[in-house]
Structure 1
């Protein structure tokens, strides 16, 4: 969409959307600030003239037919960097556009637009030194068309108390040779004002129809169609906290980072071909719940508590799919690779795969559910508005102005003490108590990763995290065996095949051996962790 909003148009509370952005030059660039919502075919028509939209619309809207061609190098260098280059025609006018990857908010990205004489890009018209690589040193003859989009766009200008939004209803196709993918989406582009207004309006649209938050751009979808690729899973980025941050700024950074991690993995989780998508989305939700728990203890804002409950419900809906993924791609595969005599891995896989597919049907239903999409928009809204400042007393407001390092030391020390208390008499702990300790150690590890940049002694931190990870992994073997036993019971109830039941018996014995071996090292790893000085006190 044309007409970007510069950063100077944003209120101070929205400025965090640029923290952790691509680079300093890009942070000063013109920016597109946009929220995308996906609709089922035919649904856009019923939303377009809804009373809520008409009430806030400045005009009756315009209709344009847009054709856009996306360009890249033969090795798709731009796509590899998350960069898109397109030329779009609307009537007799052609506009070329470069977009860089979004910042941590996932709504805002650097964007440059300039008129061009035809449907071929002219890179010399862009401020290439500002944009940087890989565009800056790209030869004009090194690029070629990759895919095309054809869209019928209806736009209306929405005037709100604190913002002006361009509301666009897009229907059309993404085209590559003889292949097509449909486009049915709503784009909300901030033209002026408060970025929180995008979330406000998006939440209001959810009241009108079962929309989904769009996690992939048209460019990303086009490349997937052209190259036959699957949505990629993404690990959490490094913490961007600094010693100069206040608690208030740290809350915004931590929640934004967890939200971005979740959003970046939703498409891969729904696709279901690569197990890492569901895994990383679960990790994102666990990290978010850890952050919310430690923050709510310091800043008991109601919005933080409600977010935690929703995050837990969504994470639980991902659990079955993750368990079956681990079972099929790790546990069964590992035993097969070990050459266990008589173990029929293929029979076991055939019996388990239908259940795994059922679990992914549930994942897709959860991701499409109104509750999940409302949660994602609400989380973004809370960060944009820093809503935790509301409904807290003056003493807690003072906590928000403290340096984040003080909160970090309190939170880490609290979790460390809890782990030591739960691990007392470690050798004699019951399985349920070991499981509780494992969960506390996982939270401690996430918290340590959040606050790591605040503590300069890297060697102490690495030693602490290394021993924490080893202990957590050893405890995880115990938990994985228990989970696998439950999955094997489910398979046994579904299949009468002798090969399957024989494989279940062999696998049960193998896993019990693994549990015994892991238990031998547990006490030593607990002692090593217990003896390690916390890096935040070093």
Structure 2
């Protein structure tokens, strides 16, 4: 793998403000001792001065004003000393945490004057916020710290067994923190993959402070939805793909943790959306950038991950539909669907806990940051191409293909209509990925019109697909009479054809 000159590398080298570039991994099972026996850790240099018992107190207002701004404030007690730390989140959507970090001695307690020159300073100008900052929760950690030389980079390795406590509740967790002290961020991922051979490690996007907040506020367990993508106009295709892919892998990771914890259907849906958007980005850039064998292997991995989620999600949709249907279902029918759904979720959770699934996500993160595709000699011109020019050509090609393949909808087979729906979805995602490259008011208006049309067409074709697949999920379930099903099918086909005709008359916003 190659180490790209990306946002994380530039942030580390800039020196102002100070940055913390860190990768977090959660130990899914087993013990730290198993991890320590791995050959990758045999040559680590112990750091006794950074090991031991850590007691951290986190501060915020009662309504979590600091957290809303991506800021954490803590005092950590270690070896008889106290250090106050302010951290500020970097750009959204990165799996490796890229944060500003400011430390000052705190042996006399909380010192808000130390916020001068940090993002916290602006918040403290509000007297109400300043006066209401107080301790919220604590995190106690037993840490074993080491230093590793790996791929020419210096990495600090912290093996943490920790407990978050607040409001008479506590939660224990075990994690590995890899912090880049010198060198390239790509080394963090390569080292993490080496460690994953010893013990099941899953990528985590949760800072310790976030675990404390979740202990206090169950509402923070809400599913993560796609965030707007911001691409600089002069971004290259490599830079643009990395920004997009990081964002949706992060969305997937956040929701995967919720699915394991709560089995929330919305979390599963958003996890699947994150994966679909990631795969759509791979499809959009694929022929230009992602032609190497490693990229093909990652595509296969992501396809497998998507298939693992499909059955449970389809049954969620089916169950929601029959519960809201005008058709009267007896309890035995609904019970059968619920049992099928329960089994599908058990199978899904088993997959999410598997070493294969964890490795798929870790490999994908490493590939996004430092995959072979970044240095492939045959794609150098495409990698350096301005993404705005690429977006114009790629969206035009896909839009033309969609209008051509959208004709004669009634005569298409169900498989052909489903394939058309996938094309529509990829085009819709593409218009969202590249929206920031076309910021004018006129472009925005046209983009909204196009998004509405694509969304409507995707929804109608999706309903047709659901109508076709429902009975295959639970063969003994008869959702409605054949006559009623046919009337609904005809109505959806009429609406789809009408939406397709409207789409053929719209002017693309990117031209």
Shifted more, 234-243 versus 137-146: the winner is 137-146
- Assess if the C-alpha contact under 8 Å between 2:150 and 2:191 holds in 1: no
Give the equivalent residue in structure 1 for 2:505.
531
Question: Offset at 1:286?
Answer: 1.4
Instruction: Say whether 1:202 aligns with 2:192.
Output: yes
Question: Offset at 1:386?
Answer: 5.5
- Assess if the C-alpha contact under 8 Å between 1:301 and 1:390 holds in 2: no
Relative distance call for 1:399 and 1:178 in structure 2 (3 A) is: closer
Residue in structure 2 matching 1:427, options 406, 410, 417: 410
CA distance in 2: counterparts of 1:521 and 1:488, whole angstroms:
27
Instruction: Say whether 1:242 aligns with 2:216.
Output: no
Residue 208 of structure 1 aligns to a residue whose secondary structure is coil
Residue 84 of structure 2 aligns to a residue whose secondary structure is strand
Give the equivalent residue in structure 1 for 2:21.
33
Give the equivalent residue in structure 1 for 2:302.
311
CA distance in 1: counterparts of 2:164 and 2:332, whole angstroms:
40
Question: Offset at 1:50?
Answer: 3.1
Residue in structure 1 matching 2:120, options 127, 131, 140: 131
CA distance in 1: counterparts of 2:124 and 2:332, whole angstroms:
51
Residue 233 of structure 1 aligns to a residue whose secondary structure is coil
Relative distance call for 1:375 and 1:353 in structure 2 (3 A) is: same
Q: Which runs of 5+ in 2 are unaligned?
A: none
Shifted more, 475-484 versus 504-513: the winner is 504-513
Residue 519 of structure 1 aligns to a residue whose secondary structure is helix
Give the equivalent residue in structure 2 for 1:498.
none
Give the equivalent residue in structure 2 for 1:361.
346
Shifted more, 440-449 versus 419-428: the winner is 419-428
CA distance in 2: counterparts of 1:121 and 1:508, whole angstroms:
71
Instruction: Say whether 1:478 aligns with 2:469.
Output: no
Shifted more, 509-518 versus 43-52: the winner is 509-518
Relative distance call for 1:85 and 1:327 in structure 2 (3 A) is: farther
Relative distance call for 1:139 and 1:245 in structure 2 (3 A) is: closer
Give the equivalent residue in structure 1 for 2:141.
151
CA distance in 2: counterparts of 1:357 and 1:313, whole angstroms:
21
Give the equivalent residue in structure 2 for 1:105.
94
Question: Offset at 1:318?
Answer: 1.0
Residue in structure 2 matching 1:53, options 13, 23, 41: 41
Instruction: Say whether 1:168 aligns with 2:153.
Output: no
- What is the root-mean-square deviation of aligned Cα atoms in Å? 2.8
Deviations 1:177-233 (A, max 9, x none): 543211211111111211111101100001111122223222222222223346222
Question: Offset at 1:464?
Answer: 2.0
Give the equivalent residue in structure 2 for 1:451.
434
Residue 202 of structure 1 aligns to a residue whose secondary structure is helix
Instruction: Say whether 1:66 aligns with 2:49.
Output: no
Shifted more, 472-481 versus 265-274: the winner is 265-274
Deviations 1:455-495 (A, max 9, x none): 34222222222212111111111012223223342xx4xxx
Deviations 1:135-177 (A, max 9, x none): 5536454133322221111101112342111111111322235
Shifted more, 85-94 versus 227-236: the winner is 227-236
Relative distance call for 1:352 and 1:220 in structure 2 (3 A) is: farther
Instruction: Say whether 1:280 aligns with 2:270.
Output: yes
- Assess if the C-alpha contact under 8 Å between 1:258 and 1:287 holds in 2: yes
- Assess if the C-alpha contact under 8 Å between 1:13 and 1:384 holds in 2: no
Relative distance call for 1:506 and 1:386 in structure 2 (3 A) is: closer
Relative distance call for 1:18 and 1:76 in structure 2 (3 A) is: farther
Relative distance call for 1:110 and 1:361 in structure 2 (3 A) is: farther
CA distance in 2: counterparts of 1:271 and 1:123, whole angstroms:
36
Give the equivalent residue in structure 1 for 2:374.
389
Deviations 1:224-265 (A, max 9, x none): 222334622222222222331222322322322332332232
Deviations 1:307-357 (A, max 9, x none): 2111111111111221222233x313432xxxx37445x665544334333
Q: Which runs of 5+ in 1 are unaligned?
A: 1-10, 20-25, 493-500
Residue 536 of structure 1 aligns to a residue whose secondary structure is coil
CA distance in 1: counterparts of 2:334 and 2:116, whole angstroms:
55
- Assess if the C-alpha contact under 8 Å between 2:162 and 2:174 holds in 1: yes
User: TM-score if structure 1 supplies the norm length?
Assistant: 0.84
Give the equivalent residue in structure 1 for 2:492.
518
CA distance in 2: counterparts of 1:129 and 1:209, whole angstroms:
38
CA distance in 2: counterparts of 1:69 and 1:281, whole angstroms:
32
